[in-house]
Amino acid sequence: MLKIFYPKRIADSAYVIDYDKLYKEGYKGIIFDIDNTLVEHGADASERSIELIARLQKIGFQVCLISNNKEERVTRFNRDIKVKYIHNANKPAKKNFIGATKLMGTTIKNTVFIGDQLFTDVFGANRIGMMSYFVKPIGPKEEIQIVFKRKLERIVLKHYRMDLKRGKIKRV
C-alpha cells in the first residue's frame, strides 16, 4: 500500500545527483520542485541553483520547474534561470507532470522528477510511471501543513528502508 509513495531513488540533495550518469542512462528531461528542493522555502534562485541548471542544459537536459506555488513565486525564482515552468500545478495530479514533458519535448520514460516531498512530488511522478528522486529538504522553514506531512513521510521512509533491506523492493 505504501509503495506508491516510495521514491525510485534517494539523494541527500539535488546538488549531489550524478546527472552525467542519468543522461547516459537515457534521461533527457528533468523536472524540479523549487521550495526545499533547489532553494530554501520562498528564496530566490541561488548562485548554486543557477549554476546547476546551466550545467544540466550544457549536458543536454531539458529542464522544467513544477510548483504548487502561485505564478509570482515561480516567476521570481525563474527570473535568472529562464526555464519552462508550471505554477499552481496541483501536485500530485497527473496533468502537469505530463504537461511538463510536453513543454520539454520529452516523454514520461526519459524524464526524471526531483523533489523533497513524498506525497506530492514522488507520488505524482510514480502515478504516471516517471522516475522519481527524493531529496532531503534544504531548509527547516516550512508551512504548517508540510510539517504535518513530514511526520507521515518518516513512517513511509521507515517502511521503504525495511523493504529495501528485506529485498522486497530494489533500487533502480
Domain assignment present for residue 149? The answer is: yes
Cell of 48: 548554486
Range of the domain at 115: 2-166
Is 172 domain-assigned?
no
Q: What is the pLDDT of residue 127?
A: 96
What is the domain count for the chain?
1
From first to last of its 172 residues, the chain has per-residue pLDDT tens of 688 999 999 999 999 999 999 999 999 999 999 999 999 989 999 999 999 999 999 999 999 999 999 999 999 999 999 999 999 999 999 999 999 999 999 999 999 999 999 999 999 999 999 999 999 999 766 666 666 677 888 888 888 888 888 888 877 7
Q: Is residue 54 assigned to a domain?
A: yes
**Torsion angles phi and psi, residue 105, rounded to 5:** 75, 30
| ∠ Cα 130 131 133 (to 5°) | 130
- CATH number for the domain that contains residue 48: 3.40.50.1000
CA distance 93 to 103: 17
Q: Is residue 65 part of a domain?
A: yes
**Peptide bond before 137: cis, by omega within 30 degrees of 0?**
no
Judge whether 171 lies within some domain.
no
Q: Give the cell for residue 102.
A: 510536453
* Residue 69 maps to a domain: yes
Residue type at position 72: E
Q: Is residue 30 part of a domain?
A: yes
pLDDT at 153: 86
